[in-house]
């Protein structure tokens, strides 16, 4: 049972909700507890769409196949139910929520995970938040700022990592968290993920990325290549290096043929 997958995506198809535009054309992906998977692919290959369909973004509509998380049918669940079950997506473009502090937001998110008759102990929460911020080498004043409001790109991504560290999901999907980051910010994000992995080796990570460079800082167990809505190759870290050397063109041609 230990080896039962945490995520099982089978023949998944999905389209843009308001249009007749199919983006995922039969995706198969199995992630076991403790594994780090990376999905690489060119722009428009559908890798971000896969992340969003797993999280339940309303802009996309699954049209076939299945996504199981543990034993649960994710596609049947609302986004908040998926989060409560243990799925977390770090956004490529985190949203600004003016007037709501990070601390208030996280407190509300943790409260949402409690049973109706349970109360969140505010001292415990404060302790957890401070502990997580220390772990990620963040200034405590950060938690008092309104969520992503006026944040730099790097601050937004750090905020995503902080939320992940507080909510402790069993599966973290990083949707191009590395894009648009300078090398320092990239290292901070990578350190965050690595620190959490060290702390809880059983947690699984799905890294969606366009670039190979983040894989210099986070070591994946499995690397997948996605082209035109399908996973066309899977293997060890060597796949990423090969890709770096040869580019996506070859895969694209091979796939088109």
Interface ranges with other proteins (CB under 8 A) = 55-58, 78-80, 82-84, 88-89, 91, 94-100, 104-105, 108-109, 112-113, 146, 163, 167
| First-residue to last-residue Cα distance in the chain | 40
CA distance 70 to 166: 21
Residue 234, beta-bridge partner list: 224
The least distance separating other proteins from the CB of residue 11, rounded to whole angstroms, comes to 24
Three-state secondary structure call for residue 15: strand
Contact criterion met (CB below 8 Å) for 12 and 50: yes
Report the alpha-carbon angle 244-136-103, nearest 5: 120
CA distance 207 to 89: 10
The least distance separating other proteins from the CB of residue 59, rounded to whole angstroms, comes to 8
Quick one: 95 or 256, whose CB is closer to other proteins?
95
Quick one: 175 or 178, whose CB is closer to other proteins?
175
The least distance separating other proteins from the CB of residue 163, rounded to whole angstroms, comes to 6
Contact criterion met (CB below 8 Å) for 9 and 29: yes
Quick one: 46 or 94, whose CB is closer to other proteins?
94
Report the alpha-carbon angle 25-30-33, nearest 5: 150
Quick one: 78 or 199, whose CB is closer to other proteins?
78
The least distance separating other proteins from the CB of residue 62, rounded to whole angstroms, comes to 16
The least distance separating other proteins from the CB of residue 121, rounded to whole angstroms, comes to 18
Quick one: 41 or 94, whose CB is closer to other proteins?
94
């Amino acid at each position: 049972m230990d080896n039962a997958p945490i995520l099982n995506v089978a023949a998944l198809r999905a389209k843009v909700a308001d249009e007749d535009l199919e983006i995922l054309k039969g995706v198969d992906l199995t992630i076991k507890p403790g594994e780090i998977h990376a999905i690489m692919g060119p722009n428009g290959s559908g890798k971000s769409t896969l992340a969003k369909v797993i999280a339940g973004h309303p802009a996309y509509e699954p049209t076939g196949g299945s996504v199981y998380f543990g034993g649960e049918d994710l596609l049947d669940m609302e986004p908040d139910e998926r989060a409560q079950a243990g799925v977390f997506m770090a956004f490529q473009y985190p949203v600004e929520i003016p007037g709501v502090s990070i601390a208030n937001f996280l407190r509300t998110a943790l409260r949402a995970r409690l049973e109706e008759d349970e109360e969140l102990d505010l001292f415990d929460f404060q302790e957890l938040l401070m502990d997580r911020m220390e772990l990620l080498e963040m200034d405590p004043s950060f938690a008092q700022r309104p969520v992503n409001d006026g944040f730099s790109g790097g601050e937004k991504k750090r905020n995503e990592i902080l939320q992940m560290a507080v909510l402790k999901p069993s599966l973290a999907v990083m949707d191009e968290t590395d894009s648009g980051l300078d090398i320092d910010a990239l290292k901070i994000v990578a350190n965050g993920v690595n620190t959490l992995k060290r702390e809880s080796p059983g947690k699984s990570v799905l890294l969606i990325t366009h670039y190979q460079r983040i894989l210099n800082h986070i070591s994946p167990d499995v690397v997948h290549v996605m082209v035109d809505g399908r996973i066309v190759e899977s293997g060890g870290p060597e796949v990423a290096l090969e890709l770096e050397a040869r580019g996506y063109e070859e895969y694209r041609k091979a796939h088109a043929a």
